[in-house]
Amino acid sequence: MKVSSPIPHKRARIEIIPLIDIMFFLLASFMMVSLSQTHMKGIRVNLPAPVVVIQPPDPTVTRVQVASGNATYINGQYVPDDQVKPTLQQLHSANPEVKVSISADEQALHGDVITLLDRIRDVGIKKIGYQVRASSPVTTGVAPGAAPPAPPPPH
């Protein structure tokens, strides 16, 4: 005779979700351990050291610098404001392919630089370069006729 139990009979069931989580954790752990144990091997190479070569200013480039107070220097020589355009005209008539490099002091006004650019274009000079890095500063108390320090050569 078979007697039934008052406790309901349940079948055993394997929960796979926690098993998958544990397997992914173990896989990731083994991957991280194995990657940390690999040693990168390479060949030692003697690379050349950087050499800084200071090039002298290009004699074919006319350097024009605008300082604060609308002081204009052409090739390091102070040029009064009323003589800038005739000096540029003289440079252009001597060499129609003259190259001009414009730089400005940090205290120079933007309008003064644009006025100089307009004068250069009015003369007919087509090859104009701009120095976008800081040039050597010209002090505000420079007397007319005193040469400012030379700006760096254009690149």
Q: Does the predicted TM-score (pTM) go above 0.75?
A: no
Quote the DSSP letter at residue 80.
Answer: -
Q: Which residues partner with 77 through β-bridges?
A: 74
Q: Determine the distance from the C-alpha atom of residue 21 to the mean position of all C-alpha atoms in its chain, rounded to a whole number.
A: 49
Nearest CA to 92 out of 128, 56, 45 is that of 128
pLDDT score recorded for residue 146: 53
Q: Does an H or E element contain 27, and which?
A: helix 17-37
For residue 2, with 0-12 CB atoms within 10 Å meaning exposed, 13-18 middle and 19 or more buried, which class applies?
Answer: exposed
Between CA 115 and CA 75 the distance in angstroms is 18
CATH fit for domain 61-130, picks 2.60.40.10, 3.40.720.10, 3.30.420.270, 3.30.1780.10: 3.30.420.270
Which residue numbers in the chain have pLDDT < 50?
Answer: 134-135, 139-142, 155
pLDDT score recorded for residue 33: 87
pLDDT score recorded for residue 22: 93
pLDDT score recorded for residue 140: 45
